[in-house]
Structure 1
Amino acid sequence: MKNRYHEEGWIMDDNKSITARMLVGTAIADGLDAMATLRLGIFPEYPYLYQGRREDELQYVSTYAQAPDACVILAYDGSAVIGAATGMPLVHEDAQMRDAFAGTAFPLNEIYYVGELLFRPAYRNCGLGQKLLARLENHIRSLGDYRTLACATVERPDDHPLRPHDYIPITRFLARTGFVRLPEVTTRFTWRETDGVKRDHLMQFWIKSLV
């Protein structure tokens, strides 16, 4: 795929001017450092509680630069990266992700996986998530090979001691934008939480039809 990117911008209700740059092909490599920085800044928050290392993050995000049909959208306020949406075909994801769909009615090679939809706190709940998701969906449809969008959420109990009192679950956004929870499709990942302890985490899959 060619080294290219596409930009578009929006003026938000608070008069912030946001620019979204979509990277595909070898151009994705230009956004890897910014993606790693964004993940390290946001994932320590609930519900992820993830304690990451920069070298691991760079290794993970580099998979987007290597996977055919992968896409990274970076959102900027001026020169600062304040959000991102990422995705790649599920066939290029980890085995734990692919195996979760074994025995389902969804052909693996027709599923496109949304890896991240992240924003700095000051840029949440203002419609940017819907704009980036719509941009990502339009790009995926243009590829012509994918019928289903998928994502996964971390399952946490409602009474988790670190759950903020004003926490808004991402599941509300997913339901509002057409995603449907698949109770029988889950996987598990282990990561080190912010208290330094490695824990096993249940991940719940959601899907959305692209046709």
Structure 2
Amino acid sequence: MGAAGRLEVVPATGAALAAALPDLARLRAEVFRAFPYLYEGDPAYEERYLHTYLAAPGAFVALALAEGQVVGASTALPLTGETPEVRRPFGQSAEFRPSEVLYLGESVLLPEYRGRGAGHRFFDLREAHARALGLPVTAFCAVQRPQDHPARPADYRPLDAFWRARGYEERPDLQTTMSWPDVGEPGGEETPKPMRFWVRREG
């Protein structure tokens, strides 16, 4: 299957989403192995995690499809349904109420399909979902890796400019920590990673 095939990004729910979960789990484990996440993923764990989006109120998933195959995906969930480490920075902020935030989980896309508009489509669909839920704030967090990290590719380009063009503001005052095993980490031990939020308010 070549990258020349038609790429479409569509919302997925119910049976269509359930059928895609195994492919989506493998995709997440593959894409997140790359810098900056360097995630030593387990597709079985990923599939269990993704079942959240089948039942959680207000959850949203978009799939990127090429010739019927899942090549990317993007997720969102009202912040009130997220884990404590994701909710905490907003709960401690005088500026935001967790009940007004749609948390944008992850967007993953195989490298050969990048640069074809899927990233914008992922944001368009999730921001439209936030409006449909009456949530005026969308937010996500990104891992912070040092500039001299030994696994940083020479041609690595962060997505900061893309996110700013979408109207998101980097918020050093909103930070959290998440843990996962880095690729090649001895014993597969989970270690904490600093995460920084980016936020957009509708209007």
TM-score by length of 1: 0.87
Query: What CA distance in whole angstroms lies between the structure 2 residues aligned with 1:46 and 1:15?
Result: 25
User: Helix, strand or coil: the match of 1:52?
Assistant: coil
Within 5 Å, give how 1:1-150 maps onto structure 2.
16-24=5-13, 28-104=17-93, 105-144=95-134, 146-150=135-139
Q: Does structure 1 residue 175 correspond to structure 2 residue 164?
A: yes
Query: What CA distance in whole angstroms lies between the structure 1 residues aligned with 2:114 and 2:53?
Result: 24
Structure 1 residue 200: Cα displacement = 1.4
**Matching residue of 1:155:** 144
1:120-141 CA-partner distances (Å, limit 9, x unpaired): 0011133220122112212221
**Matching residue of 1:11:** none
Query: What CA distance in whole angstroms lies between the structure 2 residues aligned with 1:208 and 1:154?
Result: 18
Gaps of at least 5 residues in structure 1 are 1-13
Report the structure, 1 or 2, having the larger strand content.
1
Structure 1 residue 29: Cα displacement = 2.6
Query: What CA distance in whole angstroms lies between the structure 2 residues aligned with 1:88 and 1:34?
Result: 20
Between the aligned residues of both structures, percent identity stands at 34
**Matching residue of 1:207:** 199
> Which protein, 1 or 2, shows the higher relative CO under an 8 Å CA cutoff with sep ≥ 6?
2
Aligned residues of 1:26 and 1:65 also touching (Cα < 8 A):
no
Aligned residues of 1:36 and 1:57 also touching (Cα < 8 A):
yes
User: Helix, strand or coil: the match of 2:91?
Assistant: coil
Structure 1 residue 15: Cα displacement = 5.7
Query: What CA distance in whole angstroms lies between the structure 1 residues aligned with 2:46 and 2:4?
Result: 33
4+ residue stretches of structure 1 with deviation over 4 A? none
Gaps of at least 5 residues in structure 2 are none
**Matching residue of 1:7:** none
Letter in 1 for 2:183: T
RMSD: 1.7
Letter in 2 for 1:41: E
TM-score by length of 2: 0.90
